[in-house]
């Protein structure tokens, strides 16, 4: 049982009273007060369950709830999956309530609650981040999320999206308040922007390849060269730090296609290549390097 939320500050109460429905958070011009960007409104249990399911939380994860309220998401994750979980909230009342709730739930040793402004917090070791903020707040937080979270980190947000960073998945939950809540899911994409180069043996010769990419969050477009020929790059799939694409180029008067797969780590991609028309052919190792000067932040607003 969660501890009852008593003693709401007058301004929180005033904020809640202006909401269309006190059971859910509404996007409205919330007057900033002492750094609070969002009032406290708890996520219903069934939505917490869906957030943890959609984020595929499992043993070994490290979960952060940004604006943790009474700690319910952090506590549910620690209790259900035995994982380390951290809640950050600017309100000392919420932090003390979260600590009490964690003790009642028997997970005090697994969780940590930090009183801090989430815009100043360090959550770079997260593998899962949960949020119930507002789209306007998510949007302001987005450059920090994209710059500081590791590629592959899963993000879920109750009700509020990230503007033009489209979710990878969305689900809808009917709550006990008989309303419907969206839960949005994203995987933090690796940054592939810039100019990449690599060499590959093609029979007795080495071929030099270049690739110029642009990126709109998880959507990557690219084109390149191999020797003097254009390299057409298609079917690009980026999932966290794993990139796959097909590259078509002319060689000795005929078109040849290769399937590339690799893991992005900073300014290198390492993986394998196979001919597209013979997926059973032995994979050849491939390693590309980026000119660091050509990389750009994923969120231009940073």
Please report, as ranges, the residues that interact with ligand SAM according to CB under 6 A.
25, 35-38, 40-43, 65, 67-69, 72-73, 88-91, 94, 117-119, 132, 158
CB of 68 or CB of 188, closer to ligand SAM = 68
CB of 77 or CB of 298, closer to ligand SAM = 77
CA distance 279 to 259: 8
Q: How many Å is the maximal CA-CA distance in the chain?
A: 77
* Alpha carbon distances (Å) from 143 to 63, 72, 124, 137, 299: 19, 26, 13, 11, 5
Minimum Å gap between C-beta 208 and ligand SAM is: 49
Contact 163, 276 (CB under 8 A): no
CB of 43 or CB of 153, closer to ligand SAM = 43
CA distance 148 to 129: 12
Minimum Å gap between C-beta 175 and ligand SAM is: 13
Helices 72-81 and 45-54: crossing angle, nearest 10°? Answer: 60
Rg (alpha carbons) of the chain, rounded to whole number: 23
Contact 70, 2 (CB under 8 A): yes
- In the sheet with 84-89, reading across from the earlier edge strand, the strands are 111-115, 84-89, 62-66, 128-131, 154-158, 180-187, 169-174
Q: Which residues contact 296 (CB under 8 A, 6 or more apart)?
A: 191, 193, 194
Minimum Å gap between C-beta 141 and ligand SAM is: 9
CB of 148 or CB of 248, closer to ligand SAM = 148
Minimum Å gap between C-beta 222 and ligand SAM is: 37
CB of 22 or CB of 42, closer to ligand SAM = 42
CB of 89 or CB of 241, closer to ligand SAM = 89
What residue number has its CB nearest to ligand SAM?
67
Minimum Å gap between C-beta 65 and ligand SAM is: 5
Q: Which residues contact 92 (CB under 8 A, 6 or more apart)?
A: 115
Minimum Å gap between C-beta 116 and ligand SAM is: 7
CB of 32 or CB of 278, closer to ligand SAM = 32
Minimum Å gap between C-beta 30 and ligand SAM is: 9
CA distance 108 to 92: 17
């Amino acid at each position: 049982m969660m501890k009852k939320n008593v003693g709401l500050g007058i301004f929180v109460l005033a904020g809640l009273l202006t909401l269309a429905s006190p059971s859910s958070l509404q996007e409205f011009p919330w007057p900033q007060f002492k750094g609070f960007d969002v009032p406290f409104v708890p996520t219903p249990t069934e939505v917490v369950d869906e957030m943890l399911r959609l984020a595929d939380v499992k043993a070994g994860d490290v979960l952060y709830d940004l604006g943790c309220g009474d700690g319910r998401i952090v506590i549910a994750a620690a209790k259900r999956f035995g994982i380390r979980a951290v809640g950050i909230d600017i309100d000392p009342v919420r932090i003390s309530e979260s600590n009490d709730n964690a003790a009642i739930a028997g997970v005090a040793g697994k969780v940590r609650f930090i009183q801090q402004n989430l815009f100043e917090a360090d959550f770079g070791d997260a593998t899962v981040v949960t949020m119930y903020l507002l789209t306007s707040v998510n949007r302001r937080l987005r450059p920090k999320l994209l710059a500081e979270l590791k590629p592959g980190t899963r993000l879920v947000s109750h009700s509020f999206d990230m503007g033009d960073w489209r979710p990878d998945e969305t689900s809808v939950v009917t709550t006990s308040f008989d309303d419907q809540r969206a839960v949005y899911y994203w995987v933090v994409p690796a940054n592939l922007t810039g100019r990449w180069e690599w060499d590959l043996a093609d029979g007795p010769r080495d071929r030099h390849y270049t690739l110029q990419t642009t990126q709109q969050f998880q959507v990557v477009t690219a084109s390149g060269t191999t020797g003097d020929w254009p390299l057409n790059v298609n079917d690009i799939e980026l999932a966290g730090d794993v990139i796959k694409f097909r590259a078509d180029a002319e060689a000795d008067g005929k078109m040849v296609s290769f399937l590339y797969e690799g893991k992005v780590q900073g300014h290198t991609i390492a993986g394998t290549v196979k001919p597209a028309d013979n997926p059973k052919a032995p994979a050849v190792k491939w390693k590309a390097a980026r000119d660091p000067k050509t990389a750009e932040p994923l969120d231009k607003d940073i």
